[in-house]
Amino acid sequence: MIAVTGGAGFIGSAIIWGLNARGITDIIISDHLGSSDKWKNLRGLKFCDYMEKDAFLYKTINSTLPKVDAIFHLGACSDTTETDCSYLIKNNYEYTKELALYAVNNNIRFIYASSAATYGDGSKGFLDDESGLEHLEPLNMYGYSKHLFDLWAKSKGFFDKITGIKYFNVFGPNEYHKGNMRSFIIKGYQQIKQTGNLGLFKSYRFDYGDGEQKRDFVYIKDAVDMTLFFLDKPEATGIFNVGNGEARSWNELDYAIFSALEKSPAIEYVDMPENLKDKYQYFTEADISKIRKAGFNRNTTSMEDAAADYIQSYLLHNRHLGSVLT
């Protein structure tokens, strides 16, 4: 049996979709559904039980959880603008510590979501090397809450037993519920449908032109393949980047969106909100040589092909991954 926390969320529900594609349905889902629409991500997926996150944690602490072979811990507050530090510590740090201890003490495979946000402005590089964790300086409290757990796991000597994944800019179906934290592709798609054009933030650095800020954009289907690789390779422990491995500009992403919609590009550059200017990442690029060395040899999807699949197979039809098991 496999447990997936955050199983109704974006990456969590996609992991369940990927497990289902392998014929695995003996899955326990944990999440906090609240009043959001993320419950819709569960439609079409196959699993044996669902429980709210507090009940799941209670059962682990009290050793009453059904026997599981692996835990994918993907549940967290992923809002990079969240300012309630105490909430992030409780939800992202303390909760993860409890699950990790349970998994390690019970010899359960533990694969958890760290974040590329832990790399901060990128000046320290994007190398998934545990020896350099102490030098990283996240730009926001979300990234810091993830970084704290990475540091704690290292201090406990857990990285020879557990696996942390630093996801870069993941996009794709099942992110519909994420509000302002949705990827630019879905926001751009909706903006084009409404206005015919797209808005990008102006650059406030001389070395980047407007729209030339770069990100490592990785399609959700690739992120699923890379994550499930660690289920197949229990000896692959430690911190690993999950990304496309190539930084692409926002302008290039815009062109890919317009191309998928068979429209000519129409881009407008807009002012960046003041509260983002000192927290904005101008460049991210996953070094994926470590996961390659561990044995993951599949090619990742190009940004153009991924944008086309997302828009044409899902957004245009308002589909979720669970409704298209391919």
pLDDT digits (tens, 9 = 90+) for 129-162: 999 999 999 989 999 999 999 999 999 999 999 9
Whole-number pLDDT of residue 169: 94
Q: Is residue 144 annotated as part of the catalytic site, yes or no?
A: no
Average pLDDT over residues 257-261: 96
Burial class (CB in 10 A: 0-12, 13-18, 19+), 307: buried
Residue 326 clears pLDDT 60, i.e. is over it: no
Catalytic residue among 93, 142, 189, 219: 142
Per-residue confidence (pLDDT) for residue 90, from 0 to 100: 93
Query: Residue 180 has what pLDDT?
Result: 84
142 as an active site residue: the answer is yes
Condensed to tens digits (0 to 9), the pLDDT of residues 9-66 reads 999 999 999 999 999 999 999 999 999 899 999 999 999 999 999 999 999 999 999 9
- CB-side exposure of 235: number of CA atoms within 13 Å? 4
SS3 label, residue 294: helix
- Digit-coded pLDDT (tens) for 52-88: 999 999 999 999 999 999 999 999 888 887 889 999 9
Ranges of each domain in the chain: 2-172+217-243+284-301
State the pLDDT at residue 77.
Answer: 84
- Considering all CA atoms of the chain, what is the largest pairwise distance in Å, rounded to the nearest integer? 58
Query: Residue 325: pLDDT above 70?
Result: no
**Which of 40, 53, 178, 202 is the catalytic position?**
178
CATH topology of domain 2-172+217-243+284-301: Rossmann fold (3.40.50)
pLDDT confidence of residue 324: 58
CA distance 164 to 151: 11
pTM of the model: 0.94
Mean pLDDT, residues 190-196 taken together = 92
